[in-house]
Amino acid sequence: MVKVDESIERARTLLRLRRPADAERELRGVLAVEPQQDMAHCLLAFALVHQGKAAEAMVAAREAVRLVPDHWYPHYVSGQVFLHLGLADPAITAANESLAQSTEHTSTWELLARAHLLKGQWREAADAARSGLAVDPQVPDLVSLLSIAHTKLGEAEPARAAAAHAIQLDPESATAHLAAGRAALAFGDPKAAADSFREVLRLDPGYSPARDLLVSALKQRNPLQRMLSKLRRRYLGGWRLVFLLPVAPPFIAVFILIALLHWAAWVSESVTVLRLTLAKATRLLFEGAEARVAMACCALLPAGIAVLALGIALGQEPVGTAGVAIMALITPVQEATHISSPRGRVVLRVWTGLLVAAIVAALIAGSTGGALLSVYAGLGTIWIAAGARRFFRDHHGAQV
């Protein structure tokens, strides 16, 4: 028995050191001796899920629950496995089953709050965090999650206050600095947000969402980019609006305005990313693909202007219109880059390829109408992208 206890403790240590494969080997040895060891099954579930072995992790978690169904911890472990896999509903169910056994463990309330955040249930997440803080008001991660929930609800002052309190409780908490950065970014202070996200990466260099948020904060430090992004979020132009055109043709002016607004925002995005990519202090933040897309879009703008000027100089209307169509390609290129769903990305890349072919065909045929349709189709990609985001949702859970 002593050897089993020692092995389980070694497995705990290995998990804390982020060595799940070594922990798995240790736990497999325990279960070979004692197959009914519930704690070994619990820790094995953690070791497996951190290696990407989802199916095996769920089997281990279910076995732990089967062995001790009246104990809070196996249900908690099951919920953590589901949360790690981005499955919010089963995680919430498991957390509630754990709470049915005991409400005195703040870790379970934290699990419930994170699961509600994953599902986009901001008010429920705040309530879960408060319930955990009623048990122990000094848990920095619960205070941080409360701040994030307030941020998502648009409640600036409570969000800032909770984040500051979390940092006060634990200045070395990456989650606390993440909460502070999210609040600063959401409520108009990108400089403070960038500083917070840098601190998150210092404390936890492997936390990739902080890198993405830092990039967003750096982009938002550009006043023009900040203004255009805010306007673009405000006027999303949902794909269903397309069905208004047959019954209300005057809406076409609104559509054109929305499309041009999005195009200007994508131009600003391209210029900002290219500038940050070329800067020595920030170039390492940007992946090669992102930098190449920004460079390509920045090249499309002068190329389109040059073709437009050539068309005007030659008196060739199809050539000039094709120049405008080339500039309009910035929208589909950026939309294809920024959609999260792999299938949606394929759809938008194919769409972009078809637009390029249509522009070339219009130039060869000397068709002004074909080139003009390419302009409208390029700018109108925002509605194609909106439909792709709806029908090809990315089911992977975002980290809090």
SS (H, E, C) the chain: CHHHHHHHHHHHHHHHCCCHHHHHHHHHHHHHHCCCCHHHHHHHHHHHHCCCCHHHHHHHHHHHHHHCCCCHHHHHHHHHHHHHCCCHHHHHHHHHHHHHHCCCCHHHHHHHHHHHHHHCCHHHHHHHHHHHHHHCCCCHHHHHHHHHHHHHCCCHHHHHHHHHHHHHHCCCCHHHHHHHHHHHHHCCCHHHHHHHHHHHHHHCCCCHHHHHHHHHHHHHCCHHHHHHHHHHHHCCCCHHHHHHCCCCCCHHHHHHHHHHHHHHHHHHHHHHHHHHHHCCCCHHHCCHHHHHHHHHHHHHHHHHHHHHHHHHHHCCHHHHHHHHHHHHCHHHHHHHHHCCCHHHHHHHHHHHHHHHHHHHHHHHHCCHHHHHHHHHHHHCHHHHHHHHHHHCCCCCCCCC
pLDDT band of 243, cuts 50, 70, 90 = low
Identify the pLDDT of residue 286: 67
Cα distance between residue 88 and residue 1, in whole Å: 37
**Which domains are present in the chain?**
1-102 (1.25.40.10), 120-221 (1.25.40.10), 230-391 (no CATH)
What percent of the chain lies above the pLDDT cut of 90?
A: 64
The larger pLDDT score, comparing residue 247 to residue 163, is at 163
Residues 354-382 as b or e (16 or more Cβ within 10 Å = b): ebbebbeebbeeebbebbbbbbebbbbbb
| Tokens 């972009």 found at | 352
249: confidence class by pLDDT, cuts 50, 70, 90: low
CA distance 217 to 291: 17
Q: 61 pLDDT exceeds 80?
A: yes
Instruction: Measure the CA–CA gap between 345 and 350, rounded to whole angstroms.
Output: 9
pLDDT confidence of residue 230: 62
The model's confidence at residue 34, banded by pLDDT at 50, 70 and 90, is very high
- Please state the separation of Cα 244 from the chain's center in Å: 31
Nearest 5°: CA angle at 365, between 359 and 367? 70
How far apart, in whole angstroms, are the C-alpha atoms of residue 272 and residue 249? 36
Question: What tokens appear for 14 in the block?
Answer: 């290995």
State pTM to two decimals: 0.68
What are the structure tokens assigned to 372, written together?
Answer: 């003009």
Say if residue 173 is exposed, middle or buried (CB neighbours under 10 Å; 0-12, 13-18, 19+): buried
Segment 285-317, tens digit of pLDDT: 666 777 888 899 999 999 999 999 999 999 999
Q: Identify the CA nearest to 19 among candidates 200, 110, 27, 2.
A: 27
Q: What pLDDT does residue 116 have?
A: 97
Please give the Cα distance from 259 to 265 (Å, whole number): 10
CA separation for the pair 348, 331 (Å, rounded): 11
pLDDT (tens digit per residue) in 128-156: 999 999 999 999 999 999 999 999 999 99
